[in-house]
């Protein structure tokens, strides 16, 4: 991550999510996910290992359940925000509705 503080880190993550969406590595839309304690696997978005003290999302990326993306909680949130922005639901600069 960058040394510009939390907002800079968030912007770096946002760009990584956008790049992964554009490259087809992450699908658009709501997909089934399993959430658990981190297992040490690397996050597909930021590349960092997901520690046991963090939440890990295993998101099915196809309809048959044969492929999954493993991501941190913050990366998953940005993925959802960017997905919603791409399909016209919210601005990516505004927080996701709760």
Q: Measure the CA–CA gap between 8 and 92, rounded to whole angstroms.
A: 15
Q: Name the residue range of residue 57's domain.
A: 6-86
Please report whether residue 70 resides in a domain: yes
Structural domains of the chain, count: 1
**pLDDT values of the chain reduced to their tens digit, one per residue, 98 residues:** 444 444 668 889 999 999 988 888 888 877 778 999 999 999 999 999 999 999 999 998 776 657 889 999 999 999 999 998 888 765 555 555 54
Q: What is the pTM of this model?
A: 0.75
Task: Please check whether residue 93 lies inside any domain of the structure.
Answer: no
- Residue 24 domain-assigned (yes or no): yes
Q: Is 97 inside any structural domain?
A: no
């Amino acid at each position: 991550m960058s040394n510009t503080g939390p907002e800079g880190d968030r912007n770096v993550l946002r760009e990584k999510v956008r790049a992964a969406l554009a490259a087809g590595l992450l699908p658009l839309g709501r997909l089934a996910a399993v959430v658990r304690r981190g297992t040490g696997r690397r996050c597909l978005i930021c590349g960092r290992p997901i520690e046991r003290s963090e939440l890990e999302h295993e998101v099915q990326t196809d309809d048959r359940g044969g492929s999954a993306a493993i991501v941190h909680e913050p990366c998953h949130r940005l993925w959802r925000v960017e997905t919603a922005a791409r399909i016209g639901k919210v601005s990516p600069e505004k927080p996701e509705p709760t």
